[in-house]
């Protein structure tokens, strides 16, 4: 699983879910309507945002929930100073 990035603490589990479902990157990219490059960036957590329409299409094709492919990992997130 790719590590959570310090900027947002989100772990992306998309690759694992795709593997469990036997879905290739090219198949999912075509089904969702995004480029294979953008899917690769999403799988590796190298994006800072994802459209809900894209997330919905991914979940529909993989028959999963957003929480199956995205997780918040607060322990890995850098400490953020508390606001006074």
pLDDT tens profile 11-37: 999 999 999 999 999 999 999 999 999
Q: How many helices (H) and strands (E) does the chain have?
A: 5, 2
From CA 77, how far away is CA 25, in angstroms rounded? Answer: 28
State the pTM of this model.
Answer: 0.79
Confidence of residue 77 (pLDDT cuts 50, 70, 90): very low
SS3 10: strand
Within 10 angstroms of residue 76's Cβ, the number of other Cβ atoms is: 13
CA angle 75, 68, 11 (to 5 degrees): 35
Token pair belonging to 8? 């947002």
């Amino acid at each position: 699983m790719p590590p959570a990035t310090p900027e947002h603490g989100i772990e992306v589990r998309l690759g694992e879910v795709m593997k469990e479902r036997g879905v290739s990157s090219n198949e999912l990219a075509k089904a969702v309507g995004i480029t294979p490059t953008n899917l690769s960036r999403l799988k590796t957590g190298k994006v800072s945002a994802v459209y809900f329409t894209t997330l919905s299409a991914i979940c529909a094709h993989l028959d999963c929930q957003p929480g199956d492919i995205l997780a918040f990992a607060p322990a890995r997130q850098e400490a953020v100073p508390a606001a006074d």
